[in-house]
Amino acid sequence: MTALRTALGEAVTAAFAAEGVAGSNVRVTASDRPDLADFQSNGALAAAKSVGANPRDLAARVAARLAGDPRLASVDVAGPGFINLKMSDATLAARAAEAAADADHAGASVVAVPRKVLIDYAGPNVAKPMHVGHLRSSIIGESLKRLFRFRGDTVWGDAHFGDWGFQMGLLIVAAADEGKADAFLAEGDGPFPADSPVTLEDLERLYPQAAARAKEDPAFRDRARKATAELQAGRPGYRALWAHFVAVSRTALEREFGALGVTFDLWNGESDADPRMAEMIAHLEKTGLLVQDDGARVVHVAGPGETRKKKLADGTVIEAPSPPPLLVISSEGSAMYGTTDLATILDRKIAIGPDLILYVVDERQAEHFEQVFRAARLAGYATDGMLEHLGFGTMNGPDGKPFKTRAGGVLKLHDLITMAVDKARERLREAKLGDDLPPEEFEAIAHKVAVAALKFADLSNARTTSYVFDLDRFMSFEGKTGPYLLYQAVRIKSLLRKAVDQGLIPGAIVVAEPAERDLALTLDAFDPAVADAYDKRMPHLIAEHAYRLAQSFSKFYAACPVLVAPDEATRASRLALSKAALVQLEIALDLLGIETPDRM
């Protein structure tokens, strides 16, 4: 199926080509004056110069070539050379019928050449409770995973949690100092206890204490560094203790992700790349990429003579390599953050062979990923265009700074979800929604409303921008919010249930009224919205479409009676349009990771 904008673009391009104008100058867009036309092309304004013509005269000649197209009701030239295109009612009806018949994709197309895609998102750390800083990565990554699958790619979502760095050494020595790790400190192969010596609460307490102590106590810090190196070198007792840290943490992580409707195909951590580490280091040495640098070992990733301006702490500006070298092995012999990321790329290449790897990570990590990606390309682990860092902005408080609790601390994700569900219950009761439902169903709906509010608030913003967290606004059943979209979906479901109760069934779609035309055009716009979101890695374009569709249906519902339509054919047509709108709205919401209830 081809979207009308795409089909018209091909027709307009051909008409311009017949007038001697290259197609690269031609674009067809939705009209900014829907009262005058459905689509428009301003190509004549730029193209006229290339053929030495008057823009309006060129537009008139192109319009004359298009005038016989049976898909168009009218072709007009306005202003200095704008070409206005209005679709025929029959064309809109046929396109709406295509979308209605496509239960799986609702009129959206799939890619011509599917790829193997791995998406790295969420990135939680062992022993640290998830907080609001993990929200955006989780939500955006989950949506992109769904979008790429929807378009036909084979996709793996990887949680890639932090379980192999310095924090592991900190936990080992902290647990040892409290006497919780005695059985794991012995030399040799064990056996070691099968039961965890620590709880999640222990880990959440021990890590911040150990991190703070390491900043002030050099001896403690050195012990933690040594423990990290021994863990990574394979000391059996430390490996056994570390496995308990990971298992206890994962239980909590699965709880939070499950509450958000975020899932992963791979629960790999930094440690999963460890078996590739020796192979990678040997390869980097053999190729001459790994070099000594003040006791450490690094890979220089900047090109010859490539520099950048760098501001020092005292305000002095100097010329520095751009970007800095990638630190692979520290002076203490430990693998670093970048080392495991580089080894992970190698592991993914061998295990999966992806065509594309997307990293959904805070924009503030941009330089780190530039270093790692350059090193991967230099080592031959990745090709140009295979690795992409999809940075995102922050979720901010009213002060414009990253969101904090009232006490100034970082809000745990579990607490945020609880707050949202509490607010959803409150709003549902205020709106007298769900009063007649069993308590279990009401609770399930409140949870769906809460998740919809959080996800849509995030995904309705461009990925690269920051936004202000305002739970009261996000939870409203009016305006551009997740709860509003759920309400519209439930409204259509109720309409369709009533139709079934009355023995009414959808039929052939006929477009005649302005609101029917608008709804058909909105249904058609799903395909370009999906394609643009996919190409730009921007889920907010799906969110925008979902909101426009909900608005369009609301106008249609108000202007075009469905169950009491004047005749059977009109009633059947409007039922078909309503069903098509519901299917597309639910698919769009599902691409955002939002589940709709059947009723409220």
Distances from the Cα of 43 to the Cαs of 10, 23, 67, 73, 525, in angstroms? 13, 9, 17, 20, 21
Residues 6+ apart with CB under 8 A from 163: 125, 126, 242, 245, 246, 249, 269, 270, 271
CA–CA–CA angle 406, 259, 450 (5° rounding): 60
CA distance 256 to 416: 10
CA distance 204 to 127: 6
Segment 468-476 long-range contacts (CB within 8 Å, at least 24 positions apart): 468/396, 468/397, 468/398, 468/400, 469/132, 469/395, 469/396, 469/397, 469/403, 470/398, 471/419, 471/420, 471/423, 472/423, 475/420, 475/423, 475/424, 475/427, 475/449, 475/450, 476/427
Contact (Cβ atoms closer than 8 angstroms) between residue 155 and residue 141: no
Residue 574 has a CB neighbour count (10 Å cut-off) of 27
User: pTM for the complete prediction?
Assistant: 0.91
* Torsion on CA atoms 269, 272, 278, 279, rounded to nearest 10: -110
Measured distance between the N- and C-terminal CA atoms of the chain, rounded to whole angstroms: 35
CA distance 599 to 596: 9
Residue 69 structure tokens: 């197209």
Closest CA to 58 of 42, 37, 35: 42
Instruction: Report CA 514 to chain centroid distance, whole Å.
Output: 35
The CATH class for the domain spanning 4-87 reads alpha beta
* Residue-level pLDDT, tens digit, the chain, 600 residues: 689 999 999 999 999 999 888 766 688 999 988 889 999 998 898 888 877 889 999 999 999 999 989 999 999 999 999 999 999 999 999 999 999 999 999 999 999 999 999 999 998 888 877 878 788 999 999 999 999 999 999 999 999 988 888 889 999 999 999 999 999 999 899 899 999 999 988 998 999 999 999 999 999 999 999 999 899 889 999 999 999 999 998 888 888 899 999 999 999 988 899 899 999 999 999 999 999 988 899 999 988 878 777 766 667 887 776 888 999 988 877 778 889 999 999 999 999 999 999 999 999 899 999 999 999 999 999 999 999 999 999 888 888 887 776 666 678 888 899 999 999 999 999 999 988 999 999 999 999 999 999 999 999 999 999 999 999 999 999 999 999 999 999 999 999 999 999 999 999 999 999 999 999 999 999 999 999 999 999 999 999 999 999 999 999 999 999 999 999 999 999 999 999 999 999 999 999 999 999 999
413-591: CATH superfamily: Isoleucyl-tRNA Synthetase; Domain 1 (1.10.730.10)
Under DSSP, is residue 387 helix (H, G, I), strand (E, B) or coil? Answer: strand
Helix axes 4-18, 89-101, angle to 10 degrees: 130
Q: For the chain, what is the radius of gyration of the CA atoms?
A: 29
φ, ψ of residue 232 to 5 degrees: the values are: -65, -25
Distances from the Cα of 109 to the Cαs of 112, 308, 489, 528, in angstroms? 9, 43, 23, 9
Quote the DSSP letter at residue 402: B
**Is-same-fold flag (4-87; 268-392)?**
no
Predicted confidence at residue 63, as pLDDT, reads 95
Q: Which helix (H) or strand (E) holds 98?
A: helix 89-101
Predicted confidence at residue 321, as pLDDT, reads 67
- Give the strand pairing for 467-468 and 395-396: parallel
Contact (Cβ atoms closer than 8 angstroms) between residue 480 and residue 547: yes
Predicted confidence at residue 312, as pLDDT, reads 67
CA–CA–CA angle 399, 543, 115 (5° rounding): 115
3-state secondary structure 520-572: HHHHHCHHHHHHHHHHHCCCHHHHHHHHHHHHHHHHHHHHCCCCCCCCHHHHH
Question: Could you confirm whether domain 268-392 is CATH 3.40.50.620?
Answer: yes
Predicted confidence at residue 48, as pLDDT, reads 84
Per-domain residue ranges for the chain? 4-87, 166-259, 268-392, 413-591
Residue 208 structure tokens: 């911040």
Predicted confidence at residue 496, as pLDDT, reads 98
